[in-house]
Amino acid sequence: MSSVTSGQVPLETIRVHGQSSGQPGTARSGMYRVLAASAARGQVELKQFFRSKDAVIFTLAMPAVLLVMLASIFGHTVPHTNVRFSQVYTTGLLAGGVASTCFLNLAVAVAGERENGALKRLAGTPMPKSAYFLGKAIQVLTICVLETAVLLVFGHFVYGVSFPDSAWHWFTFIWVTVLGAVCMALVGVAFSSLPRSARSAAPVANLPLLVLQFISGIFVPFTALPKTLYNVAGIFPLRWIAQGYRSALLPGYFTKVEPTHGWDHPQTALVLGVWSVLALVFAVRTFRWTGRGER
């Protein structure tokens, strides 16, 4: 029951179709298909990102520029420590960068691709659906790594932020980056279903992010925030990512100004994990491959 009508179609088509009819393949070939398609998606996503040079430059430079501005306002050291605010800001903006690259970028991009038909077209191909998300993950993680590296190097040479000084601190730095990025990316994909149109996606996603950046100690030092506000921020992931970066980059005695006098790694992992799971469940239930106006 192979499906060839024309002499021009070579025999391999018959074999491929014969093999696959009714049987979506073994688990191993299924995994291979997902990986191959994800690699293809990731490659195309990155190619498109790096092609808009202005976007690349501004995305990578933004946290550093913000750091310069904030550090010029708060020049002194954090009371009772030798740590300068510029160094605290570096850790905060690392977290802010992860949030905007992963959350903002995806919330806006996915809403746009839903509206312009990209998602619908992909859903019509044999591409495994997961490949789309893994491709996005490859894209945002790459941007995250670049942005983090730029800011870390910039903070090191301009404001004397020390690189993680032990294997343990590197480990902390890496898991905070990866878990933070995954969490924010999932929240971004889930969020993409909320804006009514691609045009409204940016403002709709920007407002909550901006609020979080203020109350999580990104733009305003957490030591200067009212306690209630900072506690509210504790419900959301961003504050914990920032705290995780402080634990990896600032001296150990800095915990004495932290609200709980500790780095709270278990809580950080818990909050990021819970948000990831919630966002994943929400995304799976609400994700649409076609635009809102369509029927």
What are the residues binding other proteins (CB under 8 A)?
A: 1, 3-6, 8-9, 12-13, 16-17, 20-25, 33, 36-37, 40, 44, 47-48, 51-52, 113, 116-118, 120-121, 123-128, 289-290, 295
Write down the least CB distance from residue 206 to other proteins, Å.
23
Write down the least CB distance from residue 47 to other proteins, Å.
7
Write down the least CB distance from residue 113 to other proteins, Å.
6
Write down the least CB distance from residue 19 to other proteins, Å.
8
Nearer to other proteins, 113 or 264 (CB): 113
3-state secondary structure the chain: CCCCCCCCCCHHHHHHHHHHCCCCCCHHHHHHHHHHHHHHHHHHHHHHHHHCHHHHHHHHHHHHHHHHHHHHHCCCECCCCCCEHHHHHHHHHHHHHHHHHHHHHHHHHHHHHHHCCHHHHHHCCCCCHHHHHHHHHHHHHHHHHHHHHHHHHHHHHHHCCCCCCCHHHHHHHHHHHHHHHHHHHHHHHHHCCCCCCHHHHHHHHHHHHHHHHHHCCCCCCHHHCCHHHHHHHCCCHHHHHHHHHHHHHCCHHHHHHCCCCCCCHHHHHHHHHHHHHHHHHHHHHHCCCCCCCCC
Write down the least CB distance from residue 23 to other proteins, Å.
8
Nearer to other proteins, 117 or 251 (CB): 117
